[in-house]
């Protein structure tokens, strides 16, 4: 039973021949707008793909794929959105990382392009990029000629263990590897359900597990006995775009089974299902875990730490004179407040391009903090700290903020050197418009 909400990966297909959305986001502006919307709806990261891997899809060159995805990845990354690139091509993966992607999602696990492991290793070492290793036996075959498993769970687990070992040997940080059982990739629907039922065996390898069941044919097959409806007068399995409710159910069950993440098209529906699952799970655990029970949508601290950039900008000892305090004389006379602010922001792009636009201007950050502290008085420095955190998270690219407010002249009737309050907030916890 999982105690932490899985990461929600929102699918963004920048392709004209996607099986699920009909190329609705093949234009860059539409794709960028959709990526922003996915985050607004609750996606933790956006998975941008420029080549369909559906059966019968036309292969796309790395050059054409990059023309589709790089402008979208760059635009989303500049807005501080966590982005992964869904690609089979090492050249595209490298270019996507340079554009701001912090995840490489290769459904072949590096088997399609033998240069992929080297690219993933370099990105892991230089930019703390994570590598999602999928299981496949090739482009999906609708006839299931390659779906001849004696024991699909043990064979997929063994194959992914081998790919993870190869990735680590190539130099990929083991802490940044995620495994995906590859539902629909040369697996029948029945085999896909067996893999989901056997997720514990995959988790036993020690790596996070991503479940990508969204709108897959296995869901349509599971719904085949449904009665007719106005949208399906003859009954039968639901077409791809009508499988979102079934996907949300799988997401909730995957969360209960301990999945690290779910890859979905319908983010809003999945977030609702996960909230219900988390509330139910918290109730099963009882009152011994009140912190989790009170916040069913939170991602645990370890998960957040692995997904946020390790880079930091720190501003300490910023002095601001303001009129906060519980006592009337504090508000009337005012006093000094010292502010320490540490923001997590990916600095790889700024360093590579020597570009101020790709980092946080600490002078502007200092001015914004000073303005926030100096405005309307409040009773508590806790409130001041929360206000500053919200301001810091408003800067493009900032994924988390650690704010400490010091009150060295506080009216305390004993000798002391300082009193302070520290809050830690991330972009997921910030109220969305």
End-to-end CA, the chain: 33
Catalytic annotation, pick one of 163, 217, 263, 271: 263
| 216 has catalytic annotation | yes
Residue 351: both structure tokens together: 């360093």
The enclosing H or E element of 210 equals: strand 210-211
| β pairing state of 130-134 and 45-49 | unpaired
Instruction: Report strand pairing: 130-134 vs 177-180.
Output: parallel
Q: Where are the alpha helices (DSSP H) in 308-397?
A: 328-333, 348-353, 362-374, 381-393
The verdict on whether 263 is a catalytic residue reads yes
The catalytic position among 102, 187, 216, 399 is 216
Q: How far apart are CA 326 and CA 364, in angstroms?
A: 30
Please name which of 92, 55, 88 lies closest in space to residue 70, comparing C-alpha atoms: 92
Q: At how many degrees (to 10) do helices 62-78 and 90-99 cross?
A: 20
At 156, list the tokens: 């997929």
Q: Considering only the C-alpha atoms of the chain, give the largest distance between any 2 of them, rounded to a whole number of Å.
A: 81
> Which residues are catalytic, by number?
216, 263
């Amino acid at each position: 039973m999982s105690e932490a909400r899985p990461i929600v990966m929102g699918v963004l297909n920048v392709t004209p021949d996607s099986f699920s959305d009909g190329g609705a986001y093949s234009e860059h502006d539409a794709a960028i707008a959709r990526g922003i919307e996915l985050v607004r709806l609750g996606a933790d990261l956006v998975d941008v793909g420029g080549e369909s891997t559906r059966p019968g899809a036309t292969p796309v060159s790395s050059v054409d794929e990059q023309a589709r995805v790089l402008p979208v990845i760059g635009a989303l990354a500049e807005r501080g959105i966590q982005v992964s690139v869904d690609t089979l091509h090492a050249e595209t993966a490298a270019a996507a990382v340079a554009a701001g992607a912090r995840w490489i999602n290769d459904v072949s696990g590096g088997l399609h392009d033998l240069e992929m492991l080297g690219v993933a290793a370099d990105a892991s070492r230089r930019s703390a990029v994570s590598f999602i290793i999928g299981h496949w036996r090739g482009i999906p075959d609708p006839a299931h000629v390659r779906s001849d498993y004696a024991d699909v769970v043990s064979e997929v687990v063994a194959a992914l263990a081998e790919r993870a070992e190869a990735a680590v040997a190539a130099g990929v940080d083991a802490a940044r590897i995620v495994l995906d059982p590859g539902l629909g990739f040369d697996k029948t629907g029945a085999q896909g359900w067996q893999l989901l039922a056997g997720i514990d065996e995959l988790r036993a390898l020690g790596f996070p597990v991503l479940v990508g069941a969204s709108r897959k044919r296995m869901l349509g097959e599971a719904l085949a006995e449904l009665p007719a409806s106005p949208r399906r007068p003859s009954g039968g399995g639901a077409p791809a775009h009508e499988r979102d409710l079934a996907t949300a159910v799988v997401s909730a069950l995957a969360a209960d089974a301990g999945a690290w993440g779910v890859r979905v098209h319908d983010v809003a529906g999945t977030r609702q299902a996960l909230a219900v699952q988390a509330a139910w799970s918290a109730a099963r655990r009882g009152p011994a875990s009140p912190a989790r029970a009170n916040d069913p949508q939170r991602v645990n601290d370890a998960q957040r730490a692995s997904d946020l950039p390790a880079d930091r900008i720190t501003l300490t000892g910023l002095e601001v004179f303001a009129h906060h305090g519980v006592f009337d004389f504090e508000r009337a006379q005012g006093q000094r407040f010292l502010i320490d602010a540490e923001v997590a922001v990916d600095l790889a792009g700024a360093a590579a391009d020597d570009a101020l636009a790709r980092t946080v201007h600490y002078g502007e950050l200092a001015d914004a903090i000073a303005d926030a502290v100096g405005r309307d008085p409040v009773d508590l420095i806790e409130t001041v700290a929360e206000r500053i955190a919200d301001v810091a998270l408003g800067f493009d690219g900032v994924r988390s903020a650690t704010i400490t407010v010091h009150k060295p002249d506080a009216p305390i009737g004993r000798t002391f050197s300082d009193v302070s309050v520290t809050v830690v907030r991330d972009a997921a916890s910030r109220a969305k418009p």
